[in-house]
Structure formats: C-alpha cells, structure tokens
Amino acid sequence: MLGIDTNVLVRFLVRDDDVQFEKARKLIAREVTAGRRVFINQLVLMETEWVLRSRYVVPKNRIIEAISGLLNATDVQFEDESAIEEALFIWKDATADFADCLIGAKNRRMGCRATATFDVKAAKLSGFMAA
C-alpha cells in the first residue's frame, strides 16, 4: 500500500497541471496494476477538502461527490472510512466545516461523550458542546 500526500490527491482530482496530473495518475495506476491499494489518511483528506474549497472554490456538493467517489473506489483505502462517511452525511446539511464534522465523527467513534469547541458553527452539531 502506498500513502499519498495532499498535493498528489489534489492534482489527481483537479487536473489543473497536466504534468503533475499525469504523474499522479501513473503513480496510482502503477499501484493498482500491482494489486496494491492507495492509502488516504484523514489529515490528507481534511487538507484536500480545505484546498478544494478555499483555493479552487469548489462547491460543497462537488467536494462531497469527489470524496464519495473515492470512498466507493475499491483500490483506495481510507483511515477510518466509517468516520469519513458519517462526517460527509452530517456535513451535507451543516454550516460547520468538513473538518469539524470529521473531528466529531472520529471523537464519537473513539468513545468521547462530546467534543468541546469555541467554534459557533461546530457547537451546533450533534455531539459538540460550547467550551
């Protein structure tokens, strides 16, 4: 299994640099052809969402579609896929950031009774509380 960094994932998804996209595509294809999976950890996923939203101004629904597509790919493995699925489900109707939704989902899965935050939007999410 090969882990990929945010910049590789973003280039693969956005395709705004032909040379880097092709390198990312070949790298991923080489792993898949060899019968290995590509690993995306939660930090990379959170960074990718932030880059897509802030730098590329990709709408939330398109980011959700992209992440969902990756979740459905059999040759991609995520860190704690269930927490990511839960976070996406919550995020689609929330005003809070994806990162907050993922933090809450991960904390619930780790047995936390709540997640304390100063973030007003995150505090409105189920499982969060104002600090």
40-90 tens-digit pLDDT: 999 999 999 999 999 999 999 999 999 999 999 999 999 999 999 999 999
DSSP state of 84: H
Those residues with Cβ within 8 angstroms of residue 88's Cβ, 6 or more apart along the chain or in another chain = 64, 67, 68, 71, 98, 101
Entry pTM = 0.90
Beta bridge partners of 37: none
